[in-house]
Amino acid sequence: MLSSSLFGDMFGTAAMRDAFGDLAFLARCSEVEAALARAQARAGIVPQGAAVAISEAAAAVSANPASLDLDRLKRETENVGYPILPLVRQLADRAGAAGRYLHWGATTQDIMDTAAVLQIRDGLALIEADLTAVRGHLATLARRYRDTPMAGRTHLQHALPVSFGFKAAVWLDGFDRHAARLAELRPRVLTVQFGGAAGTLASLGSGPEGIESRVGMARELGLADPPITWHVARDTIAETVQFLALVGGSLGKIAYDVMMMSATEFGEAAEPFVAGRGSSSTMPQKRNPISCELILAASKALRQHAGLALDAMVSDFERATGPWHAEWIALPESFGYAAGALHQAAFMLSGLIVDPARMQRNLEMTHGLIVAEAVMMGLAPHTGRNEAHDLVYDACRAAIESDRPLYDVLLESPEVAGPLGAEKLRALTDPANYLGSVPAMIDRVLAGRG
């Protein structure tokens, strides 16, 4: 789906495809091989001249990975089961005599894991930019509709009044936490991998050269040096996918709310109008919430990949016999779906059509029943909470059965109207007066944003 010529830009983005595509992967692998050679030259393991030649050959491939014999690479990868040996052969040919020092002491997983980490770094930068855009749109909505009342709903029924700004601020607060999570996971995730066949670096001897190679390799690539090989400690990869799934979950929540609010019976919000977007082949009146539908589908795919990444953590001994391969599916696709969902959300939120008048009409739909709690709490100091609850409960039943405003029914109840009076009762049955700490909480979420 992510590479589909029809659907690719609906579920993903070109930038993320570029970051995780085959050519980008080959370029990152070449960069890792060159970084290893330079680090080993400094540690005295391979000749300096060899490192220079290897770096030049790798740089040429990194700049133009399509210059590789891709058909040969594909055939050999299918035969070997992994792409690194076939890539090393072509790099070695380009490096000439220096090619004998290529991939010195490394194993396939060292190169692929480190290349994947470089792709993750690029992918997280794209995700961060998209998160920033979405957070900006949410902040605008929270600020603009801070005091726009609407019906708050629980179990799909009117509960208490909220404001649309409150709803947007709840969404925003979650995305602020995602931004914090992104900053926190980077130091754990962006680490180099170099351990050799079983993670021991034994092929480089028992001296300091092995660790020095890894430290230097990390420095060359701008990555952290882990204390120990992580061939079978896959928590950082799983954490990355879980993070993307969390972002997807929050996006799915927004999409679900907006889809419901755009239903004909609600009519409180709609996706931006673009001629022909969301139209039906048979029903000219339709304006389907296309971005929301795509976001919701992506959030479900991300949830499945989160489980797949957790499954991949359970591996055998010092090198896995198959769980690692599941990451090859989960990792790039998760970045793709997350980027696509964020892109759709940015489009949808940037031009979201909000209808305060319809929100007001919906708020008044139950003739004051939505603020029954306000009356109960206003009456409680006079009668006690339990008696106040029963009195207002009976009034609500009577209002529903007679289809009359709650205020009118309460005004006819001496036990209620007597202690409160008509003016106080009118104020208590006005939904706009029962927003509680909504404005203050919105302001706290928006604090410091300018």
**What digits encode the pLDDT tens for the residues 254-281?**
999 999 999 999 999 999 877 655 555 4
The dihedral of CA 170, 253, 305, 339: what is its sign? negative
The structure's pTM equals: 0.92
**Burial status of residue 212 (CB atoms within 10 A of its CB: 0-12, 13-18, 19 or more):** middle
Specify the pLDDT at position 286: 55
Q: Is the Cβ–Cβ distance between 134 and 404 less than 8 Å?
A: no
Residue 280 known to be catalytic: yes
Q: At residue 192, what is the residue type?
A: V
Instruction: For CA atoms 282, 284, 286, 288, give the dihedral sign.
Output: positive
Summarize pLDDT for 288-328 with one digit per residue, the tens: 889 999 999 999 999 999 999 999 999 999 887 888 999 99
Sign of the torsion angle spanned by Cα atoms 249, 307, 244, 274: negative
Q: How far, in Å, CA of 427 to CA of 430, rounded?
A: 5
pLDDT of residue 278: 52
Q: Are 217 and 117 in contact (CB under 8 A)?
A: no
**Which among 311, 179, 303 has a CA at the least distance from the CA of 249?**
303
Rounded Cα gap, residues 305 and 326, in angstroms: 9
CATH label, 361-446, candidates 3.40.50.620, 1.10.40.30, 3.40.50.300, 3.40.50.10540: 1.10.40.30
Question: Does 250 participate in catalysis according to the annotation?
Answer: no
Question: DSSP letters of 124-183?
Answer: HHHHHHHHHHHHHHHHHHHHHTTT-EEEEEETTEEEEEEEHHHHHHHHHHHHHHHHHHHH
Classify residue 191 by its DSSP letter.
B
Catalytic residue among 89, 121, 319, 404: 319
Sort 89 into a burial class: Cβ within 10 Å, 0-12 / 13-18 / 19+.
middle
The tokens describing 273, both together, are 């109008």
CATH 1.10.40.30 residue ranges in the chain?
361-446
Measure Cα distances from 51 to 34, 40, 114, 115, 423 in Å: 7, 8, 19, 19, 86
Q: Does residue 283 surpass a pLDDT of 70?
A: no
User: What average pLDDT does range 157-174 have in this prediction?
Assistant: 96
Residue 312: in which H helix or E strand, if any? helix 290-312
Separation between Cα atoms, residue 105 and residue 218, nearest integer Å: 16
Cite the residue boundaries of each domain of the chain with CATH code 1.10.275.10: 14-106+209-216
pLDDT at 287: 72
CATH ID of 14-106+209-216, from 1.10.3720.10, 1.10.10.10, 1.10.275.10, 3.30.9.10: 1.10.275.10
Inform me whether the pLDDT recorded for 448 exceeds 90: no
